[in-house]
Structures are given as structure tokens and as C-alpha cells.
A and B are shown apart, each in its own frame.
Chain A
């Protein structure tokens, strides 16, 4: 089980030796079919010089896809703190949900990965889409956006993590709450992110380290023993009944250690 904030594993040996082309690199982080594991230190080490100028983001959002309760509170809050309005379509984190499907296909969460090599930034002809100098967060200078939407098309993920703000007519994307005019808290790396703060399931967290990731997204498990007390699975894949864990923590015969961490009783 990966703990929030835990440092990601070292990258594969081959990648560390350098000589990785930009396309190869993108294949690893862009959801294009390789599924390589990448660590936070790799971005600076492995990229060709021409790309090195894009600093790594100082933060990333992690989502435990099996822990999400589908309430869309993150989306509503994202929209609210950025625009002052409630609108799922203006949320920079998206939760696609079908209540008529079975777990875990019923719901998927899509957050910007703050790519080490951000194609959205490269695609922008005006510099509107850029990496913030202070934090490395990939974000939009709305005044420079000409509405060409190349950044949206360039995002290698589906659904695109870059969006067209159809009310204000500019591109937008997750800025880790660096610029939230309708919130009184400090955001960005080092600050608070609205979706993290509001998620009642604690299924979203912030990390300063580039997370372990694959084509499927980040592999996060934020469910502890208390989650199994709610009768939900806590294994990584979400395939093992909570009953298994409950049996494990049931009172053992004399002479054996009783399992702990059973929580307080009401």
C-alpha cells in the first residue's frame, strides 16, 4: 500500500542511463502504452537539454480510485474556488460516474498529472500555457490565451486535462489551487488544495514527489484498516472482501497475538 507523501521508487535502470528520447519519455508518462514507472528525480536527469528548461512541478494530486465516493464534492469545490460558481463542467478535476455500472468500473477520476514534460505547454504558441516559475505548476496565463485550443488537443490523456473555459473563453487546467480568487486560503504547492480539503473520503492527497504511475494512472491506496471496518476492501486492486481483513483482526486463540488497530468503540 502506497502511503501519501511516500517517496516514489527509483526509476528503471535503463532510463537513468540517459539517452532517452523525448518521445520515449513521453511514452512513459503520457499514457501511450508503455506503463513505465518513473520517479520524481527523473524529470531533470533524463530529459534532453531542450526540455530541461521546463521545471518539474513541485506538487501533484493523487487519487485513490477505489476510495472515491462519487459525491463530486471535489468538482463542485474546484469550480467554486476558481470561478465563484458551481459548475461541474468548469471543474479542473473530473469524476465520471455511472451508478448503473459495477465497482470499480462505475467511476473514474481524472486529475492533471502536471506532466514532467508538459505537451500542453509545448503546444501553446503564445506562452499562455506555462510552468510557473516559482512552483513549476503547469498553468495558464489567461491574458495570453488566444483560444486556439492546441493545448487541449495536445494533452495526451483522455479526457483531456486541459479544458476550454467556455464562459471566460480561455484554456484552464489544474493549478493546484495556486490562483483561487474565491477562496481565502493559500493554495499551490505548500498550500491547500480545495479538492484535497473537501474530499470527505480522504481519497485525494497532495504530494511533492512525482508519483509512481502507469498507463492506468497513479497507483494509490489510501485505505487503512478503518476502511475495512466499513465493509469495503483495502487491498490495492479492491478485489478482496473486507471480511478477510476482519477475520485477520478477530480475536485469536490464547497464545497468539491479537490483531490491533481495531479503532475505538462507541
Chain B
């Protein structure tokens, strides 16, 4: 092999924007314990961000974009992702935060020569940075400023490739040993929202792969950084290529949707995207009937997105694909999704049209009203409304000036937070919208409030919630009886105890639940956020795609480790080690949050979680009276006292003291004495 570890480019790029210089450091010292993605990014942030208590838009903030050993490989549903970390401006209050991005960014970074990019300081002029086969150039971005993220990418594609048409070889600069490529550069660009420091601003790659949550687009904007572009022809060494190919084919055969002869097909084609997601349909995010094709991230075996004839809605998926439905026209829905990505706005964090319309109907918001705006509410059901709203937010125009701060800060300014957060406006944790019910699906809510943001990891969620709820919407039985489901989920996670997935009144406060939450955070940190496995596919707990009555097991946890070994050659690696490294990352992250001011009292879910009973059927497995069943979970709230008890037990399980500060002895066990020293210096040692 070459002079670098298997799966790695071998170098990390550190951009010093202040003087437009850069340096490179070896990846090797980080490989063993920090591996890649989130782990690598957190350690780099720890080392390069000198003051972790500054505001997110302060020029001392540091953004890290980190690839991983799986990026740019055929690891199924794992070859395309990168992790982005830094102080994020969206949450309330601001925390050290994260986001991940798919597409082809991770592989392209490594082909261009770098495993990670550390962005420091603020540029004296508006710039974009061009990275080609290891060479780094700061380019003037004055003429790109004001362009949307798609226009910016297209302009940079042409500049980097000297206007090479799609479908022709582009000879990379140098000699013939520099190689040729038919690929477009992978560009990571902000739109107008990022330029205008909107707290929900994204960084967009290709059509709809975005660093969504956390508002890192605004950090790019604050740093005068319009875009990063990566292009290269450098190889990534793989420890055991033949084994990797066989693993890929084996997993694909077992889990993949058989496009020509499916084992299971949705009862109504594409009627419910969630059904498609359970079955891992190609184009599962497709919006209605379409003339187009499925589209996938690099190396994916599913291809859950789609490309459309008019390019509107290209690569849209999940929440952002369904962001706008008021007009009832699918074409508007797709157009709106693309507008979000072009402006660089996160569809999840700007999930506010319905709430605003409610304020309008209540007579609170509108022209001459308490919250004065001439937003065209009379055309709420027409595209004009959403178009106007999003442009105003992105450009900080009129009411957009308030909304650009995020809805929580806006409602606080309007004096409505205390009242509306009891139910009208559901923002359970850190200002993020309710993703799944925080009173019931507690891996999600506990995990979010004990960390930095809405966790957005669906591995358990598909199984315990959707696999029961979605078939019922079609009058079908759940995919599996509750007892079989929890047994398989317990096996696939390695937790082995079905009570970890009991969502009864008792179960959500149990020690087993705390264990499940802890596992979820550690697995997520390592396999999803550090190794870039797609959370729509991993962990692979239940095989809904090719399910039969007797064979429905997914491939977790064994195959993650086998893939890791095949790529990296670390043959002594174990599943337990992966969870240990995930735990280690969480310790480091927790230390940063503590330095920022995290205390138990700040970890407070919104009032409605404790006061407003659930009133919508929400299927989850429960263990009651000695029997497993699915429950509608109606009339449920969280109990404040029992939540605090869970909080303390979670702290203890992680090696944190009662204030949530990581303990020195635990930090030292993980080789993090320097972190303990920093906490001591801040008066927060434990």
C-alpha cells in the first residue's frame, strides 16, 4: 500500500482564511481513535478552535468538514457522506453542533487529496476555494455573491473544468499523470441565505444534498466563504478489495429492492413515501408520478432520490420534499424544494408556514396587525406565498428579518413563545421542530436534549414506529407482531434485551431504556456520523424489503464491522470497540458543551411535552401485563420528575457527574486527559 492508511487520502487541509493561506497535516495520528467523520471533526475542532465559547458567527469559530474511510467506496449506503461540525447558530441557545451531507462530496474530497478540511478565520474578501489534486487556490467570489447555490455550482464547474461539456474527458492540470475525469467537481456552496447570515442557512452540494441542521451556511457567510470545490483523480487504497466487493454484493442481494421482480411492493405506488422508505424503493422520495429516474448518493445500493424532467425537485427527499403542500400541486412541491436548496434554507428549520398562517387566522399577524407584515396570506394556497416567504427569509427582507433568526427567537421577540410553545408551536428541543413525538419515542427526544440538536437518526424509528403505523394506514397488519419486532431489534442492535424497546408508561423511564438511549448515541456517533452510514438504511435491524415470514433479520451489527475491516484492514476491530469510540466522541462533545455553558437545567424539553397529552394514534410496541402489543399511545405526557431521573441515570451511564460534566477518571480512561485539564481550567472539572 501507499504511505497512508487504507481508506484515507492521508492529509488534512487547514484553511486560514484571514491571510488566505493553508497548511496540510497528516491524517495518520487521528486514524486510530478518531477514525473519520464526526470523531475526526470533533478532535480537529477541539484542537483548532481556540475559544469554544464564542458565538457561532464570530470569526474565531471553526468549521470542520470531515470525510471517512467509507466515503468514495462501494460500502452500501455509506459511500457518499461527510460530517460538518462547528459552533452552530440555529439552536437556542447555540451549541457545538453537527450536520451530515450525502451525494458525492466525501469521495471527491479524498480524490482531491484530503480527508478533512478545517476552516479557520474570516477572509478579507469574498472567496471560494478550489481544491484540485491537492492544490489549493483562493478564488475571488465577488461575482458569485448574490447567486443561488445552483448557479454558483454551475459557474464553478465551468471554471474548474474550463467549460468542458458534460460527457467529455477533462484533463486535470499538470501532465498526463494527473489523470482525466468525466465528473463534475463536487462543490459545497451557500446561497443567499448563508450570505445574509440566516440562522437556518444550509450549505448545498449538487441539487439537494445539504448540510441542513445547525445553520452552518451562515457560518460560511460570516467567513466570506461562498464555496469549496473538490476535484481529483487520487486513488483510495482498500485493504481487501475482493472482500469488499463480495460484502457489497451479499448485502445488496439480501437487503436490496429487486427492481425487476420485487419481493414486496407498496400497495399503492408511491402513495405514501414512508411505505417506500420501509421497502427501500429506489426513488422513494419521488414526488408523485414522474418522468425521471431514481438517483443515488455515491456507491449507494438503493438510490432513494430522483431526477426530474424539469430538474425541479431533483434529489429531494424526506421533510424538504414535502415542505410545501398548501397549493395541492406536486409541481409546486418540487419547485419549492429546489427553491429551498437554491436559496440555501433548511426545510426543517424553516418549517413555519402553517404556524404563520395560524397567526394570520388568529388575527395576530398580517398587515397592520400586532405582528405587522404584508406577507400575501390571502394567497397562502398559491405558490406566490411560499415564494415570497422564503425569499424574504433568505434576504432578510421585511418580516424575514425576524424569521431569519429562527422561529424560536422570532416568537420570543414577538412575545409569543411562552404561550405558543405550549402546543401551537411545537419546538421540543433547542428550537428544532418536533420530528417524532417527544412524549413517546424517547430515544429521539432524550437523545436530542442530551446532545446538541434534533438527532435525525431513523434506524430504530423505522422499525418501532413506521413498520406498525404505515401498514395500518392501508388496513394491513404490521410487518411483524410486536414481540417478534422487538426481539429482532434487540438482536440487531446487540442490546439483546427487548425491554430496551418498550414504549409503555413504565418502559420509557426504565434502566433498559437508558441503556438503549446510550447505545443509540454511541452507535450513531460512530457508524452514522463518523463512518457516514446513511441513517435511512443503517443500522439494518429488520429487512422489510425482502421480508418473508421466517426471514426478516437485517444485517446489523455484524456487517458494519466486516465492512470496516475490508476497507481499513483493521482486523482486530470489534463492534464493542466501535461503540467505545462513539462513547469517546460523546465525551469530547459533552466537554465542549459544558465549556459553552451546558447545565442540567438547560436540558429542558418544551412545556407541551409535559403538559399536553398526545391525541393522535402513534403506533409503538409496549410491554404491558406480561404481553407485547402495539399501542396507540394516546393521552400520554412525560413526567417532569421521572424525566429528571432519567437524565441523571443517563449522565451516570456516560461517566458524567450530576451536573453533566465528564469525570476526569473517565476522560483519562479514554485518553482524554487534555480535555479534563481544559474542564478544570474552566472550573468545570469533575
Contact = CB atoms under 8 A, between A and B. Distances in A.
A96 interface: yes
A100 B74 contact: no
A199 B306 CA distance: 16
Contact of B295 (A99, A108, A242): A99
B227 to A, nearest CB: 14
Contacts of B99: none
A263 B265 contact: yes
Contacts of B264: 264-266
A182 B297 contact: no
Given A83-B235, A226-B265, A266 B476 contact: yes
A263 B258 CA distance: 11
Contact of A230 (B180, B182, B270, B310): B270
Contacts of A265: 264-265, 267
A59 B524 CA distance: 45
A182 B239 CA distance: 11
Contact of B235 (A94, A167, A230): A167
Interface in A190-215: 194, 197-198, 200-202
B415 to A, nearest CB: 43
Given A87-B233, A167-B235, A266-B267, A68 B293 contact: yes
A71 B281 contact: no
B169 interface: yes
Nearest to B80: A71
Contacts of B184: 97-98
B265 A264 contact: yes
Given A89-B181, A167-B235, A198-B248, A231 B286 contact: yes
A99 B315 CA distance: 8
B575 interface: no
Interface stretch (A6-14, A27-35, A50-58, A73-81): A73-81
A107 B233 CA distance: 20
B282 A242 contact: no
A228 B279 CA distance: 16
The residue among A86, A88, A102, A242 with the most chain B CB atoms within 10 A of its own CB is A86
Contacts of B83: none
B245 interface: yes
A252 interface: no
Interface size for chain A: under 10, 10 to 19, 20 to 34, or 35 or more residues?
Answer: 35 or more
The residue among B289, B293, B544 with the most chain A CB atoms within 10 A of its own CB is B293
Given A158-B168, A266-B476, A102 B310 contact: yes
A145 to B, nearest CB: 13
Contacts of B260: 202, 222, 224, 226-227
A101 B263 CA distance: 33
Given A76-B73, A102-B311, A94 B182 contact: yes
B309 interface: yes
Contacts of A160: 169
Given A241-B290, A264-B264, A99 B307 contact: yes
A81 B252 CA distance: 17
A183 B269 CA distance: 38
A80 B241 CA distance: 6
Contacts of B283: 230-232
Contacts of A200: 252, 256-257, 259, 282, 296, 300-303
Contact of B73 (A69, A86, A201, A264): A86
A71 B476 contact: no
B681 interface: no
B320 to A, nearest CB: 15
Nearest to A243: B289
B238 interface: yes
A159 interface: yes
B332 interface: no
A226 B308 CA distance: 19
Contacts of A101: 166, 307, 311
B259 A230 contact: yes
A1 to B, nearest CB: 12
Contacts of A159: 167-169, 182
Given A98-B184, A263-B262, A67 B293 contact: yes
A201 B245 contact: no
Contacts of A233: 291-292
Contact of B282 (A102, A110, A230, A263): A230
Contacts of B179: 89, 166
Given A101-B311, A232-B292, A85 B74 contact: no
A76 B299 contact: yes
B303 A103 contact: no
Contact of B183 (A77, A96, A266): A96
A99 B242 contact: no
The residue among A84, A233, A262 with the most chain B CB atoms within 10 A of its own CB is A84
Contacts of B547: 266
B636 interface: no
Contact of A72 (B104, B246, B263, B307): B104
Contacts of B269: 228-231, 242, 246
A142 interface: no
Given A86-B235, A167-B235, A66 B293 contact: yes
A226 B297 contact: no
B314 interface: yes
A30 B566 CA distance: 41
A226 B279 CA distance: 14
A88 B183 contact: yes
Given A76-B298, A200-B301, A238 B291 contact: yes
Contact of B237 (A77, A85, A94, A163): A85
Interface string B226-250: 0000000111111001101110110
12 contacts: A67-B259, A71-B297, A73-B299, A77-B74, A79-B235, A89-B180, A98-B184, A102-B307, A107-B307, A149-B176, A167-B177, A246-B289
- The 4 A-B residue pairs with the shortest CB-CB distance in the complex, in nearest-first order: A69-B303, A71-B296, A99-B206, A85-B235
Given A89-B183, A200-B282, 4 more contacts: A198-B248, A231-B270, A263-B262, A266-B471
